Amino acid sequence: MTLREVCRAETWLTEKDICRLEKVEALLPIMAELFQVDVFIDCMNRSGIAVVAAQGSPQSVRGLYRQSVVGEKAYQDREPAVYQVFQSGLCRHDLKATTQEGREVKQSIVPLAGVSIPMAGVLIAERDISEDILRAKKYRELERTVENMSNTQLAMRTYDQNTIAMREIHHRVKNNLQLIASMLNMQARKTESEETRKILQENVNRVLSIATIHDILTLTPSGEQRTYVSSTELLDKLRRNFQGLVPDGKSIVIRVEGDDLRLSPDCATSVSLVVSELINNAIEHAFPQRDSGQIVIRSCYGRMNSSIAIEDDGVGFCPEDVRKGSLGMSIVRATVEGKLGGKLWVKSGPEGTSVQFHFDSNLGN
């Protein structure tokens, strides 16, 4: 069934109200994919029972529903938040509900204004909480087991809980940063200004470079909490991210070479931001009249100071000609000098450009 068919058969909505809801319906696939949730439009039927008028599910992950529930009823005892929004006209967030297929979810709901009536329907986003329920059950079982443990076992439990908590924190921070990057990407695609699109894309790269740190810190292969970041792993993740941003039609290879440095999370965040800015600059400016080239990210360990260099075989430039107001280079210099306490060197000529920065090796401890 279509939204129009449901509304005509079940509700008192006018043609104008239905047209307004259809405009929202057209955005459901985008919202479902962006937030990785199932989204719905519910309307109130002539008997005062909510009915599903439209449904959208993400395509890149498995949705909550095996089949369409358009046309089915949403009863108050199973989805109380839907009725609260219809009654109050106010948004509700993260309230428990049971789907038509009997699955436990959390719903976030916002009202949809009508033309002939104040509220034509509600927009619902549903998130699966079955894993949360299972996790909570495991925690309760763990707590019951711990009651009979010795003091040594209790100490081990404390360590495990702290590890789980830190892992969850890094995981959530990474997810939130990736969500911000997705929103910026959407804005970049919508804007008609090439300059604005470029600025938004640069900020997407900055956000994702920081998210990479939290991704690495989530877990070690053995399941223990990490206290440091491997520079080789970090730089290779950045390399893969930027390799996908090379313009179509160009063959620019990005490689990682050198020593594996142990970086503290704070140091790794600064290094990630600086390297991302420099790789982005090289991709954008080093090969204007060429279809191929290479960019090498080279790390070198020293007892006192370690260094990282970004080298390309592009056309080069005059360092004195770099705009003093360039945001990218301003970020690089401020981060190297202010956060890492190091220095920055730029060497450029017809055979390419090398930008190197060093920092205290103890920052990795």
d(CA 186, CA 231): 31
> What would the two tokens of residue 363 be?
């920052």
Domain 3-129: state its class: alpha beta
The pLDDT-based confidence of 335 (bands split at 50, 70, 90) is: confident
CA 224 vs CA 187, 221, 227: distances in Å: 38, 8, 9
Specify the pTM: 0.46
The pLDDT-based confidence of 295 (bands split at 50, 70, 90) is: very high
Q: Give the pLDDT score at 350.
A: 85
- Phi, psi angle pair for 182, to nearest 5°: -65, -40
DSSP code for 248 = T
Number of helical (H) and strand (E) elements in the chain, helices listed first: 10, 13
Q: Give the pLDDT score at 158.
A: 47
Q: Give the pLDDT score at 12.
A: 94
CB under 8 A, 24+ apart: contacts of 8-12: 10/43, 10/45, 10/46, 10/51, 11/43, 11/44, 11/45, 11/46, 11/51, 12/46
Choice between 133 and 363, residue whose per-residue pLDDT is larger: 133
Asked if pLDDT for residue 303 goes beyond 90, the answer is no
Q: Give the pLDDT score at 286.
A: 87
Q: Could you report the per-residue pLDDT of 14-51, keeping only the tens digit for each?
A: 999 999 999 999 999 999 999 889 999 999 999 999 99
Q: DSSP per residue over 313-324, as a string?
A: -S----GGGS-T
Q: At what angle do helices 265-285 and 327-334 cross, to 10 degrees?
A: 150
The pLDDT-based confidence of 219 (bands split at 50, 70, 90) is: low
Choice between 64 and 215, residue whose per-residue pLDDT is larger: 64
The CA dihedral of 232, 286, 345, 263, to the nearest 10 degrees, is -20
Choice between 282 and 190, residue whose per-residue pLDDT is larger: 282
What is the mean predicted confidence (pLDDT) over 259-281? Answer: 86
Q: Could you report the per-residue pLDDT of 73-117, keeping only the tens digit for each?
A: 999 999 999 999 999 999 998 898 988 888 889 999 999 999 999
Q: Where are the domains of the chain?
A: 3-129, 156-226, 229-365
End-to-end CA distance of the chain: 61
Q: Give the pLDDT score at 263.
A: 86
CA 354 from chain centre, in angstroms, equals 31
Domain 229-365: state its class: alpha beta
Q: What's the chain's average pLDDT? A: 81
The pLDDT-based confidence of 152 (bands split at 50, 70, 90) is: very low
Q: Give the pLDDT score at 322.
A: 57
The count of other CB atoms within 10 Å of the CB of residue 325 is: 7
